[in-house]
Amino acid sequence: MKILITGGAGFVGSHLLDRCTKEGHTVLCLDNLADGNSVNVRYLQDYGNCRFIKGDIRDSDLLETITRDVNVVFHLAAYLPDDKSIYNPFLCFDINERGTLSLLRAAYLNGVNNFIYSSDMKVYSEPAGYLPVDEQHPVQPSTIYGVSKLAGELYCGVYSEAMNIVILRYSRIYGEGAIKCEPITTFISQALSNKPLTIFGDGTQSSDFVYVNDVVQANLQAMERNKPGIYNIGSGEEVSTRDLAKRIINLTGSKSDTVMSDKVYGPTRFVLDITKSREVLGYSPLSLNEGLSRIIKIHV
């Protein structure tokens, strides 16, 4: 099968690229290396079935060329702005919205069969109206990034009559190669150094953390099952900041303790309902403790 992965040098994209390449698929990897790391694609020279293309999803002519004869597109390329993006939203719009639309158009013109779009839990309203958050939960993003990912979903809907489109809404992704997944990255570093783990707020804030290999598996299952629709991809496990810190201390065997910071954030709880992805895609993620244990072993 011939596969195109956009953002293939990024965190999740490089893990998906590695898996698809090793499974023998013919893979094109598109990345402009603005956020991706060339180290993530250096090993490709060892495989004859993978080709790296340095390019941008805003280049519509390039997209029309590289989508020829492609069976599946995994669209992971995106711009994740900082909190100041409200003052300069246009780059996020140009990459995440216009770039997605250009890719959909190119895929349509070249008769691509399957299009798998990486979306985000940020499309849902914050705070959540109810927990766990299923796919029918109101979408009302409160960030420029969330708006851009939702716009991409709507563009996918327009093209859904012409090709099979799967939308995957991710929770917070952690794993090998993650530059930053707070507070997991900081907590593990503090615990391994036997330093206090700093908790902001009262520690009751919660989230849903999903292991990167589970996200890769969900993408492959979306390709194999060929069941168009929207699916939540998380762990389905709600964990508070205080509980997360205690787990990491226990798993590392650290002598660390927890300390509360003077900084206070509003109470927030979040967890995805992954029932649909389990039943339709066969998705079965690791528990948080299993995923954390794998990451900790790398750092020890």
List active site positions. Answer: 145
Rounded alpha-carbon distances, angstroms, from residue 197 to 93, 177, 193, 207, 236: 37, 22, 10, 17, 25
Q: What gap in Å lies between CA 61 and CA 216, rounded to an integer?
A: 28
Instruction: State phi, psi for 264 to the nearest 5 degrees.
Output: -125, 130
In SS3 terms, 12-28 reads as HHHHHHHHHHHCCCEEE
28-32: Cβ within 8 A, 24+ apart:
28/2, 28/3, 28/4, 28/53, 28/66, 28/70, 29/5, 29/53, 30/4, 30/5, 30/6, 30/55, 30/57, 30/66, 30/77, 31/6, 31/7, 31/55, 31/77, 32/56, 32/57
According to DSSP, the residues that pair with 197 across neighbouring strands are 258
Yes or no: say if 92 and 120 are a contact pair by the CB < 8 Å rule: no
Q: What gap in Å lies between CA 189 and CA 299, rounded to an integer?
A: 9
Q: Helix 184-192 and helix 241-252: axis angle, to 10°?
A: 40
- Amino acid symbol at 150: L
